[in-house]
Amino acid sequence: MNTSDGVSKMVQSGDDGSSAVTPQYSDYSDYQYGPIGPFYSTVFAIFILIILMSATGNSLVIFIVLRFRAMRNSVTNFYIMNVALSDIVYTFMCVPVMAYIFFWHVWHFGNFFCKLFAVLQTATVQVTCTTLTVMTVDRYYVIISPLTSRQTRTIPKAAGISVAIWIFSFVTHTPLAFLYEVDEYSSCNVRQGVGSGYLIFLFLSTYVIPLTIIGVCYGLILSHLWKLSRNGSSKETSVQTATKKWKTTKIVLAVILLFAFCWLPIHIVNIWQGFQSRDNEYFRSWEFAIIHTLSLCLAYANSCINPIVYALAGTSFRKHMNKMFTCLGGDRRDPYSQNTTKYSLHKHDTSRTDATMMSHSTHL
């Protein structure tokens, strides 16, 4: 995302208007003690809250998946852990830097870290959206081909795909190191002349293309479930199996919709700004500074939302979380160590009939 230079753009101004998007103050004292102070102090506090929530929530997700055997035997949970890891990297590498810039308003970390920062922030976002895409394709495969998927979906394959996603993301966005630099205004910015093309590339690679693939997959999933429901009682078992798998798929869909909602505003703002004249006075206004800052906050907040979704909608995550705190309270035995039934994100039915079917249908 084009977010690394968001705040520094707001406070730096050149004669050509290349990076000025905030009101012009007569001197530094007006800026430091003027109306901008309370707003940016509030934003700084929001950034700190995002860091704490993301670090706690995503670390808890990773711990639960790794700690409990029933959870780490799920392919879907493995992908969820990959998303949590990318959110942690993004949170610790990007949000603290932006919080620092909100107070100092200049880039103090040198040209090398400017380039590294640009690559890290875009690569980690690419990891997130690509993993969500893979999760959706995986859910489509499970629902369309339940028998075949039980034989081909394995944890080693999921691990290999996750590693490939990280490699793909960093290879794709490493060229950003050649596009970013610290300019004459001590701001970490994209070089002049490449801004518009760069923004379009980011919008396509980290938003449009992944969400298009996801939309097609969910359309096919819904079409398949609708056809199964029309086939009547002769396909009752298939309908029940697909319905159980759809419960997990809905949680994945919720995470995807939140990603789309949180990242759309900053994409719109960046593209809007990128295709306007650099002399446009509106981008120097206090109103635009607020819009741009709130869009950044919403994008960053996506890193801490997913664990909340798992806790509220994922029955298995909630159960294992309760068990973990129970163990911390004194009982250190793994309550699921002897349970051979796979746990998915959705609620587990304990009846004998359903348990038999679940043993064949809930391996996510």
Segments making up each domain of the chain, as ranges = 6-361
pLDDT value at position 327?
Answer: 66
> Between 222 and 262, where is the model more confident?
262
216, 135 Cβ separation under 8 angstroms: no
pLDDT value, residue 310: 81
285 in Cβ contact with 23 (< 8 Å): yes
Is the pLDDT score of 363 beyond 90? no
Name which of 51-60, 268-277, 289-298 the model is least confident about. 268-277
Q: What sign has the CA pseudo-torsion 194, 169, 79, 97?
A: negative
pLDDT of residue 12: 41
Q: Which long-range contacts (CB under 8 A, 24 or more apart) does 211-216 make?
A: 211/129, 211/256, 211/260, 213/133, 213/136, 213/137, 214/132, 214/133, 214/136, 214/256
Taking all residues of the chain, what is their mean pLDDT, rounded to a whole number?
76
CB atoms within 10 A of CB 228: 18
| pLDDT in the model for residue 344 | 45
Residue 350 has pLDDT above 50, yes or no: no
Q: What are phi and psi of 251, to 5 degrees?
A: -70, -45
The confidence score (pLDDT) of residue 103 equals 74
Task: Count the residues in the chain.
Answer: 364
Q: What angle do CA 216, 358, 230 make, to 5 degrees?
A: 50
Q: What amino acid is encoded at 308 in this protein?
A: I
- In the predicted model, what is the mean pLDDT of residues 97-123? 88
C-alpha span between 260 and 210 (Å, rounded): 10
Q: 188: which DSSP letter?
A: E
Cβ-Cβ contacts under 8 Å for 10 (sequence gap 6 or more): 21, 22, 105, 289, 292, 293
Q: How confident is the model at residue 243 (pLDDT cuts 50, 70, 90)?
A: low
Distance CA 205, CA 173 (A): 10
Span 43-72, pLDDT tens digits = 888 999 999 999 999 999 999 888 888 888
Predicted local distance difference test score (pLDDT) of residue 39: 78
Q: Do residues 58 and 306 lie in contact, with contact meaning Cβ atoms separated by under 8 Å? A: yes
Confidence of residue 126 (pLDDT cuts 50, 70, 90): very high
What is the residue whose two structure tokens read 């050149």? 14
Q: Considering only 10-14, 284-288, 354-358, which range has the smallest mean pLDDT?
A: 354-358
Compute the distance between CA of residue 206 and CA of residue 123 in angstroms, rounded to an integer: 9
Using DSSP bridges, classify how beta strands 188-190 and 180-182 pair: parallel, antiparallel or unpaired. Answer: antiparallel
CATH architecture of structural domain 6-361: Up-down Bundle (1.20)
* Phi, psi torsion values for 188, nearest 5 degrees: -85, 105
pLDDT at 314: 65
Radius of gyration for the alpha carbons in the chain, expressed in angstroms and rounded: 23
pTM over 0.85: no
DSSP 182: E
Which of the pair, 159 or 288, is modelled with greater confidence? 159
- Show the tokens assigned to 320: 């294992």
Note the pLDDT of residue 266.
93
303 vs 193 pLDDT, higher one:
303
Rounded to whole angstroms, the Cα distance separating 40 from 356 reads 57
CA distance 14 to 321: 52
141 compared with 286, residue with greater pLDDT = 141
Least confident of 166-175, 203-212, 238-247, 276-285: 238-247
Q: Which two tokens stand for residue 18?
A: 């290349």
Contact 1, 263 (CB under 8 A): yes
Three-state SS for 180?
A: strand
Residue 170's Cβ-count burial label (10 Å; 0-12, 13-18, 19+) is middle
Least confident of 98-112, 116-130, 205-219, 316-330: 316-330
Q: Is 195 strand, coil or helix?
A: helix
**Gap between the Cα atoms of 218 and 344, Å rounded:** 19
pLDDT of residue 359 exceeding 70: no
> Measured between alpha carbons, how far is 158 from 163 in angstroms, rounded to an integer?
9
Is the pLDDT assigned to residue 236 strictly greater than 60?
A: no
